[in-house]
Amino acid sequence: MLASRLDPGPEALRETAAILGRGPDWDRLRARANEEGALPLLYRNLQASGDAVPAAALDGLRAGYLLNLARNSRIYRGLEPFLEAVRRQDLRAALTKGSRLALTLYPDIALRPFWDVDVVVHPADWPAVRTVIAELGYLEASGDARLFDPEDATLHWAYSPYFKKDGIFLEIHFNFPGLHFPRPTPEDVWTSTRRAPVGQTEALVLSPEHEFCHLCLHAQQHSYHKLLWLTDIAELAVQEGLDWDRIRAVCRASGTGAPVFHALRLVNALWPGTLPGGLIDGFRPGPGPRAGLRFLWPERAVAGRTLSFAWPYYMPSLFSLWERKDPVLAWRTLSGILFPPRAWMAQFPDATGRFPGVYGRYAGRIFRPLFMTVKRMVTKI
């Protein structure tokens, strides 16, 4: 945790030196850093520690760093034909999350591991983007196109197809910022995009403000499972020129103030003093959402990396519904979450037409949060 930032700061470096002096279990440390996605950052921050890091341990960290450098370099080279094709046709297909951050946030692409290439596509441009993908030889690995209608945003969240080619995985998304609402992505997401150089071409990327909100929601959707996701938020939050007024406007429009508030609180819990308290308080939700955030993702447990609960992916959507206070929207959204179409459920092997099959899956979607809530209430975190 101490060495998982680009600039850990003098106090973190002193604590790191004290830990190194006690002789940590290097195999365990490397494995844990790899699980958290922070191994390249750990190497970057320890390579100047001299004799405090055994040569064999540093060689192991360097090997992980170089492996990620080779992998990311290969992915970006392989992506260039796709990026050039969508750029040439002026299609709205923007990189987001890991593949975007390694290019634009970190000074070295090797410092930010990513496992697939997330692309947000404007629904109206999807037929043309899909043609590009097919012509380049990508094969669809998952997804059911019957769930997608460019004119109907009701199920845009349910169709996130994967395409693969030569070890590159494209994951396509049609809604921002990843909520389950039956509403289209606001057009200001697309009017504020910019371009970033990738090899001999350019990639379309979301604005830093939209990307920031997306990162906060994505981390919460996965219950902050990887430390790297909070590192991303911390590093983007301290970037010069980030427009906090615009971020607040995006939160108001999308009802995502609670996840952003909690992400900022977690960043300060992990790395005290990263952000001024007044800035965080500008996103403070009401007492009900705050109590829910503390119950679901306690700061101490998340910061201590001891949180054992992975709540359902749609939890941020529930916080957004609370903020919007729209009963009709809540009914439509919850109906889609709890009773998605059978075509979407078919991705699960046991979701057959027989009983319990798909009905068991529906029941699980209804009762799983209740079971987890009871478990959380009787478990000390």
Domains contained in the chain, number: 2
| Backbone torsions φ then ψ of 318, nearest 5 degrees | -70, -40
- The pair of structure tokens assigned to 210 is 């939209």
Query: Based on the domain organization, do 213 and 262 belong to the same domain?
Result: yes
pLDDT, tens only, 286-316:
999 999 999 999 999 999 999 888 899 999 9
Q: What pLDDT score was predicted for residue 76?
A: 97
pLDDT value of residue 358: 77
Question: Pairing state of beta strands 194-198 and 168-173?
Answer: unpaired
Co-location of 375 and 271 in the same domain: yes
Q: How many helices (H) and strands (E) does the chain have?
A: 18, 7
Give the pLDDT confidence score for residue 1 in this predicted structure.
65
DSSP one-letter code for 169: E
> Of 206, 235, 270, which residue sits at a domain end?
206
CA 180 to CA 315: how far, in whole Å? 10
Assess whether 186 and 282 both reside in one domain: no
User: Whole domain around residue 335: which residue ranges?
Assistant: 208-381
- Residue 351: the pLDDT is 62
- The Cα 241–Cα 251 span in angstroms is 18
Q: What is the pLDDT of residues 5-29, one digit of tens each?
A: 999 887 877 788 788 888 888 999 9
What per-residue confidence (pLDDT) applies to 354? 64
Q: Do 260 and 195 share a structural domain?
A: no
- Of 267, 261, 309, 248, nearest in space to 289 by CA: 261
Positions in the chain whose pLDDT score sits under 70: 1-2, 350-355
Residues 272 and 287 in one domain: yes
- In terms of domains, do 116 and 164 share one? yes
Residue 51 lies in a domain: no
- Alpha-carbon dihedral angle through residues 55, 58, 62, 64, given to the nearest 10 degrees: 120
| CA pair distance 218, 306, nearest whole angstrom | 19
Domain assignment present for 7:
no
Q: How far apart are CA 285 and CA 262, in angstroms?
A: 9
Cα 159 versus chain centre, distance: 17
Q: What is the rounded distance in angstroms from the CA atom of residue 88 to the CA atom of residue 82?
A: 10
pLDDT of residue 172: 95
In a domain, 16, yes or no: no
Q: Where are the beta strands (DSSP E) in 47-159?
A: 93-96, 117-121, 139-142
